[in-house]
Structure 1
Amino acid sequence: MVDYALRETDTPSLESYRQGLAVLRAFTGKTVGPPDNRDFALLITAPGEEAVLGGLWGQSRWGAFYVDMIVVPEALRGAGVGTDLMRRAEAEARARGCHLMWLDTYAFQARPFYERLGFTVFAQMDGPAPFYPRWFMRKLLE
């Protein structure tokens, strides 16, 4: 048994996440070969500015593309920006050779939006309203 210490925090640093991820990827590499994780982002900014106002963040891994987060600033909602972000992410997923995209969304979020884009529910997690249910959705890329 190796000695270890545990530190509890409700404000983990981005660096601590990166360090944990490196340990996980090292294990994965030894177990099934090098992970093919590739991050992806489409960032919405004001022209000439660096501050991020919204966008889409995702990752491809083992032939699947996960949409982690999509944020459209309120002033841009209903103007097709979300659809454009998702279509660009899908094009990138296809370019990476992915066979599916997947994401999750809560009851108060955007299930109908994703359904209009061809996503279907493959799992549901129930819990208290108004947050739940939480749906896990996918779109097969043929």
Structure 2
Amino acid sequence: MKYIMTDNPKEEYISVILNNLIKYNLDYIELREVKPIAIFVNDENDNKIGGISAETHGNWLEVSFLWVDEKLRGQKIGSKLLKDVEVEAIKRGCKYSFLDTFSFQAKDFYVKLGYKEVFTLEDYPLTSKRHYFVKQLKENK
């Protein structure tokens, strides 16, 4: 056996690890379909000024990224993006949402939108914290 350490791994090698891990995990997961979802906000010149990227997996929505241009923050664009992706996740059968943020980003924003903090990594990377949140999704009636 040969162990090789690198600070510049080839993407194809990372894919081997990921694909084999997924293959193993799928034997233990009831719902195997992972579906991406993204919503983008464009200005009048078709420039991206905001967006959200997430995946639904079984009854969970996992938000990867949420961004709104700094000049447009405070105009409820981020709230609309998050609510819209949650609505789509509910249509896909999701009951819960998961996301994380840094202490210098949007912790209070997520709390205001009903997310509960479940875990915090201290000193991440050194001067910040990384906060993990969950939310129980509710159908609009």
TM bucket (normalised to shorter chain) is: 0.7 to 0.9
Question: Helix, strand or coil for the counterpart of 2:81?
Answer: helix
Structure 1 residue 137, shift from structure 2 partner: 0.8
- Contact kept, 8 Å, 1:28 with 1:34, in 2: the verdict is no
Residues 63 and 99, structure 2, Cα contact 8 Å, conserved in 1: yes
- CA 1:63–1:20 in 2, change beyond 3 Å: closer, same or farther? same
Query: Which residue of 23, 34, 46 maps to 1:37?
Result: 34
What is the rounded CA distance, in whole Å, between the counterparts of 2:121 and 2:6 in structure 1? 27
Structure 1 residue 92 corresponds to structure 2 residue 88: yes
Counterparts of 1:64-75 in structure 2, within 5 Å, are 64-75=60-71
Following the alignment from structure 2 to structure 1, what is the Cα–Cα distance between the partners of residues 75 and 114? 19
1:122 and 2:118 correspond: yes
- Call closer, same or farther: CA 1:127–1:32 in 2, change over 3 Å: same
Cα shift readout 1:17-72 (whole Å, capped 9, x = no counterpart):
555433322222234356221111112334464x6443111111131111111111
CA RMSD in angstroms, aligned pairs only: 2.6
Whether 2:75 is the aligned partner of 1:79: answer yes
1:137 paired to 2:133: yes
Q: Distance in 2 between matches of 1:115 and 1:45?
A: 26
Which runs of no fewer than 5 residues in structure 1 stay unpaired?
none
Q: Distance in 2 between matches of 1:64 and 1:38?
A: 11
How many residue pairs get aligned? The number is 137
TM-score normalised by L of structure 2: 0.79
Whichever residue aligns with residue 125 of structure 1, its letter is: L
Q: Which runs of 5+ in 2 are unaligned?
A: none
Report if the CA contact (8 A) 1:57-1:69 is conserved.
yes
